[in-house]
Amino acid sequence: METRAGDPGAFTQFDLNRVDSPAFVVDAAKLRANLQILADVRDRAGIKVLAALKAFSMWSVAPIIGEYLDGVCTSGLWEALLAAEHYDGEIATYCAAFKPDELGEICRLSDHVIFNSPMQVERCSQILAFARSRGDRFDIGLRVNPLHPEGEVPRYDPCAPFSRLGFPVDQLKGEHMQGISGIHFHSLCEQDLEPLKRTWDVLFDHIEPWFGQLKWLNFGGGHHITRADYQRDELVEFLQDVKDDTGCEIYLEPGEAVALDAGILTGTILDSHWNGKPLTITDISATCHMPDVLEAPYRPAMLGEEDLGSGELVRLGGPSCLAGDVIGDYRLPVPCEPGQRIAFLDQAHYSMVKTTTFNGVPLPSIWLWDSENDSLECIRRFGYEDFRDRLS
């Protein structure tokens, strides 16, 4: 999978030695710039935009996000609790399957509760009725599967064959829509406007019979709106047309676009040797700190990497015992020797939220930098106790 991000931005001027190793560093100025773009699209199109916590849940910057967006979307009880505690605006909660003993609390916290199938809505009807009887105010949405794959990698495509995510739209009947206020679909991953338009063209005929009933349509996430080459003017026009055609409030739920190119993961070369090619061990672990490198898989961009036409490729790997804990092959911007600092770009989203302590590998600390005034704050450091206390 080829990443379409990796603009170093102001990080070219950041001294990596100012922070711990390893460490996530998020640039508040770049975060604000992304949010300004999303808010501009929102305002011009007359829609609502929610930040997806599943991608970026650094709640210390929730006040910044709250200045620009309409709320957040969450993926279950714990994210909904985090949203209610720290974030402003609406909360939309979708889960592939809600636990009955958690659903009541989710209804209390959320403005929109989105189910993966109409069968679960029916099974949970008593829980929903009780929540409303005690005064909880929420509406019910249904996630559908447009059955139109657009993703580059099937693992990341909710419309891939046999996907468990969303109710197949060709099975949708009138009886399934009783009590449903909104339709949700999410089928993109790091993509631009044309895949969204093609998906909507497929979906339109299936859900058109309920346009008079539906209050909102949620187009999910995966929209790379803040990428420099995204067709934002065309997106605004498209969203305006959808509003006019359907009479619905339109929601987008960007996650990656909120923090695109807003963070780095910096670390240190610990050792180097040779086994058919130059090898290094770093205190950054692919499996523990950047699991998408192995799951996608993809090659993260490196801060300051030399031109690919020159220099010797060095294989970088993490400190864990997993043989496959390999980040990739790089032409290093620093000498290939212990003590040198390196950094990988575009690591604010889907890295920080997925870190683990497998093999006892320490978690990176988290820092907030503002490239406009050069302020730097350590938000969180993790110690042995964080590893110990999640075990037994």
Same domain, 88 and 221: yes
Same domain, 255 and 336: no
CATH number of residue 352's parent domain: 2.40.37.10
Q: Which pairing describes strands 365-370 and 375-380: parallel, antiparallel, or unpaired? A: antiparallel
pLDDT tens sequence for the chain (392 residues): 667 667 899 999 999 999 999 999 999 999 999 999 999 999 999 999 999 999 999 999 999 999 999 999 999 999 999 999 999 999 999 999 999 999 999 999 999 999 999 999 999 999 999 999 999 999 999 999 999 999 888 888 999 999 999 999 999 999 999 999 999 999 999 899 999 999 999 999 999 999 999 999 999 999 999 999 999 999 999 999 999 999 999 999 999 999 999 999 999 999 999 999 999 999 999 999 999 999 989 999 999 996 555 678 999 999 999 999 999 999 999 999 999 999 999 999 999 999 999 999 999 999 999 999 999 999 999 999 999 999 98
Q: Does an H or E element contain 307, and which? A: none
Same domain, 150 and 227: yes
Same domain, 15 and 122: no
Whether 41 is covered by a domain: the verdict is: no
Helix (H, G, I), strand (E, B) or coil at 384: helix
CATH number of residue 204's parent domain: 3.20.20.10
Same domain, 319 and 185: no
Cis? peptide before 278, omega within 30° of 0? no
Same domain, 120 and 238: yes
Q: Which two tokens stand for residue 293?
A: 């490198």
Same domain, 151 and 70: yes
Beta strand spans in the chain (E):
23-27, 48-52, 71-74, 90-94, 112-115, 139-145, 167-168, 182-184, 216-218, 249-252, 263-274, 278-282, 314-317, 326-330, 341-345, 365-370, 375-380
Same domain, 252 and 328: no
Strand partners, 306: none
Determine the pLDDT at residue 152: 81
Residue ending a domain, among 259, 292, 313, is: 259
Q: Can you give the residue range of the structural domain that contains 241?
A: 46-259
Residue ending a domain, among 213, 243, 259, is: 259
Q: Which two tokens stand for residue 82?
A: 């985090």
Q: Which residue has the tokens 């994210």?
A: 79
Determine the pLDDT at residue 311: 75
Same domain, 80 and 200: yes
Determine the pLDDT at residue 312: 87
Same domain, 300 and 253: no
How many domains does the chain fold into? Answer: 2
Determine the pLDDT at residue 6: 77
Whether 197 is covered by a domain: the verdict is: yes
Same domain, 18 and 81: no
Model pTM?
0.96
Burial bucket for residue 294 (CB in 10 Å: 0-12, 13-18, 19+): middle
